[in-house]
């Protein structure tokens, strides 16, 4: 049985004070304590802490890289929330 997945995921990058970026992406990539990972459309719910590693968001316009000492990446129901400076 084949399951169709959307081609993009909604991504929001926020700090404690403001929304830093929001848009659609084809993927989000980074590295946590277990190693490198990619988040693609249709990804399972997921949460992880990122420490001292860049987070790359790939959009139709190109790549955006976010770097923070600590961040939480949270995937739920087809969207990605990145909480910077946690």
Interatomic CA distance for residues 83 and 86, integer angstroms = 7
**pLDDT interval class at 86 (50, 70, 90):** confident
Cα separation of 14 and 79, whole Å?
Answer: 14
User: E strands along the chain, which residues?
Assistant: 9-14, 19-25, 27-32, 35-39, 46-51, 55-59, 62-66, 70-76, 79-84
Q: Give 40-80 pLDDT, tens digit per residue.
A: 999 999 999 999 999 999 999 999 999 999 999 999 998 99
Chain-centroid distance, C-alpha 75: 7
Closest CA to 86 of 64, 69, 61: 69
Residue 2 above 60 pLDDT?
no
């Amino acid at each position: 049985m084949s399951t169709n997945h959307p081609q993009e995921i909604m991504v929001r990058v926020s700090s404690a004070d403001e929304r830093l970026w929001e848009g659609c992406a084809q993927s989000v990539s980074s590295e946590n304590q277990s190693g490198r990972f990619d988040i693609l459309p249709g990804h399972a719910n997921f949460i992880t802490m990122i420490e001292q590693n860049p987070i790359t968001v790939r959009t139709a316009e190109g790549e955006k890289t976010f770097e923070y000492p600590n961040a939480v990446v949270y995937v739920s129901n087809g969207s990605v929330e990145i909480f910077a400076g946690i």
